[in-house]
């Protein structure tokens, strides 16, 4: 699949699976007797992570999705965020855990945290599968991090380039020829 577009596999399917299990265990330990957790997945990138995480979590959780778009180029964000799809429910008094695919500059997440905090949840934390080193440029409190990865554009397991590659079961770095060929 996508022959030649992936320069290298950064995180294998098995490594993702093991990490999701490990993150779910940590969350399970941190939220004893909290009632149903409310997982907020950020569309579309976090879809695979969300569905795998929810099934790996030993306690009941409810699933909500939000879609945001940050203005900027296709490979970097500006921090100006627009809600494309809001939550369907009120989160006041709920224990909310945001599930993110990747934190790059941190600008999108920083905006999202402020937006959701204003809705008065009982608690609000972030669990991201991937984080790039640039994330330290904006101070966003991220409780759970799957993998810190190098500053390369990655795709797969929900992450896209121009809506492609989301369906890859692993995370790979995209061969730069893909975004320089004009395809």
Name residues contacting ligand XMP, limited to 144-163 (CB under 6 A).
153-155, 159-160
Residue 127 in the binding site for ligand XMP (CB under 6 A): no
> Rounded to the nearest whole angstrom, what is the least distance from the CB of residue 146 to ligand XMP in the complex?
14
> Rounded to the nearest whole angstrom, what is the least distance from the CB of residue 158 to ligand XMP in the complex?
8
Instruction: Give the residue, chosen from 6, 20, 23, 103, that forms a contact with ligand XMP under the rule CB under 6 A.
Output: 103
Whether cis (ω within 30° of 0) applies to the bond prior to 44 is: yes
CA 128 – CA 156 distance, rounded (Å): 15
Q: 130 Cβ partners below 8 Å, 6+ apart? A: 101, 102, 103, 146, 147, 148, 149, 154, 171
Name residues contacting ligand XMP, limited to 61-80 (CB under 6 A).
70, 77
Residue 106 in the binding site for ligand XMP (CB under 6 A): yes
Burial-class residue 79 by CB neighbours within 10 Å (0-12, 13-18, 19+). middle
Number of residues that make up the chain? 183
The stretch near ligand XMP (CB under 6 A) out of 8-16, 82-90, 96-104, 114-122 is 96-104
CB 57 within 8 A of CB 38: no
Contacting residues toward ligand XMP, per CB under 6 A: 45, 70, 77, 101-109, 153-155, 159-160
């Amino acid at each position: 699949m996508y022959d030649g577009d992936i320069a290298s596999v950064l995180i294998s399917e098995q490594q993702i699976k093991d990490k999701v299990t490990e993150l779910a265990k940590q969350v399970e330990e941190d939220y004893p007797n909290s009632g149903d957790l409310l997982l907020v997945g950020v569309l579309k990138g976090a879809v695979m992570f969300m569905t795998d995480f929810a099934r790996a979590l030993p306690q009941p959780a409810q699933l909500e999705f939000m879609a945001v778009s940050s203005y900027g180029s296709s490979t970097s964000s500006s921090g100006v965020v627009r809600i494309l799809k809001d939550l369907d429910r009120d989160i006041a008094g709920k224990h909310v855990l945001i599930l993110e695919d990747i934190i790059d500059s941190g600008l999108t997440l920083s905006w999202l945290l402020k937006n959701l905090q204003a809705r008065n949840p009982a608690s609000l934390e972030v669990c991201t599968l991937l984080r790039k080193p640039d994330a330290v440029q904006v101070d966003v409190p991220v409780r759970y991090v799957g993998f810190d990865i190098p500053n390369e554009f990655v795709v797969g397991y929900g992450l896209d380039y121009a809506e492609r590659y989301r369906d890859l079961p692993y995370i790979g770095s995209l061969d730069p020829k893909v975004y320089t060929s004009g395809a």
